[in-house]
């Protein structure tokens, strides 16, 4: 059994640039750095997308993160090739995750027309798989304290730094998520006795950005920050260069 608390870190910073003026028949090479600064930018912090607020999209991100049905995971993806795992083809959004490496990941492909949810830095806390469960007040309070510890936040898109990240804070908010049978998020991270179940309540806080659908071509994001949990500091620095596919006629 693990000790109380589930850390769900999601820090994503992208530096994106797309050159739409090139040959439309030429496949872009994500190993080539984007040559220009684009106008692609996140939605305003108080703006909804498809009827959901930033906090509500953060919850959807968390549910996607816990939906894995194998130990292949976008969160432990070294080169970006697993970014499409567990994405809902009918969803209007595409979720990015954090990275186990500070190296640029270059093998992610994003379907055309998808908005992108970037969890800059998030923390989630609940009693799944713990020896000594705690009450809701303690879950909420610890999530609030962790939010207050978050610092050195960064978000870059298309080689431009996004300012005023404090406006993108959310939580603590109560939420719930469903775990599939093992292999699942817990069994793949060393807690073997957490099987199919609904975890309720969980509490989440952090910073998130929602981007409108980007133009086809190469984009790049960089994001991250530092948080303190249980007297330890956790630093995240994610860099992803990805290709947005052309829309199919």
Identify whether the C-beta of residue 103 lies closer than 8 Å to the C-beta of residue 239.
yes
Check residue 172 and give its pLDDT. 98
Distance CA 115, CA 117 (A): 7
* Cα 132 to Cα 57: distance, rounded to the nearest angstrom: 30
Tokens standing for 55?
């906090």
63 has pLDDT over 70? yes
Q: What is the DSSP string of 28-95?
A: P-TTSPP-S-----PPPTT--BTTB-HHHHHHHHHHHHTT--SS--GGG-SSSTTTTTT--TTSSEEE
**Could you give the CA distance from residue 244 to residue 96 in angstroms, rounded to a whole number?**
13
Tens-place pLDDT, residues 180-215: 999 999 999 999 889 999 999 999 999 999 999 999
Q: What are phi and psi of 148, to 5 degrees?
A: -65, -20
pLDDT digits (tens, 9 = 90+) for 75-120: 999 999 999 999 999 999 999 999 888 889 999 999 999 999 999 9
What does pTM read for this prediction? 0.87
Q: Show the DSSP H helices in the chain as ranges.
A: 54-65, 136-149
């Amino acid at each position: 059994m693990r000790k109380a608390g589930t850390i769900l870190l999601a820090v994503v910073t992208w530096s994106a640039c797309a050159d739409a003026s090139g040959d439309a028949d030429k496949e872009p090479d994500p190993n080539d750095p984007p040559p220009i600064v684009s106008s692609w930018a996140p939605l305003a912090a108080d703006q909804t997308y498809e009827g959901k607020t930033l906090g509500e999209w953060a919850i959807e991100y968390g549910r996607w993160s816990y939906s894995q049905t194998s130990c292949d995971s976008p969160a432990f993806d070294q080169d970006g090739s697993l970014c499409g795992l567990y994405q809902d083809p009918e969803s209007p959004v595409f979720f990015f995750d954090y990275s186990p490496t500070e190296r640029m990941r270059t093998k992610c492909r994003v379907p055309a027309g998808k908005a992108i949810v970037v969890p800059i830095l998030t923390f989630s806390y609940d009693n799944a798989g713990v020896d000594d469960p705690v009450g809701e007040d303690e879950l909420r309070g610890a999530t609030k304290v962790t939010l207050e510890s978050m610092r050195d936040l960064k978000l870059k898109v298309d080689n431009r730094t996004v300012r005023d990240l404090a406006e993108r804070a959310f939580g603590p908010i109560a939420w719930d998520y469903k775990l599939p049978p093992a292999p699942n998020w817990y069994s793949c991270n060393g807690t073997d006795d957490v099987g199919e179940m609904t975890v309720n309540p969980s509490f989440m806080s952090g910073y998130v950005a929602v981007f409108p659908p980007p133009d086809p071509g190469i984009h790049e994001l960089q994001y991250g920050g530092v948080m303190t949990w249980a007297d330890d500091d956790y630093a995240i620095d994610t860099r992803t260069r990805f290709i947005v596919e052309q829309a199919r006629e």
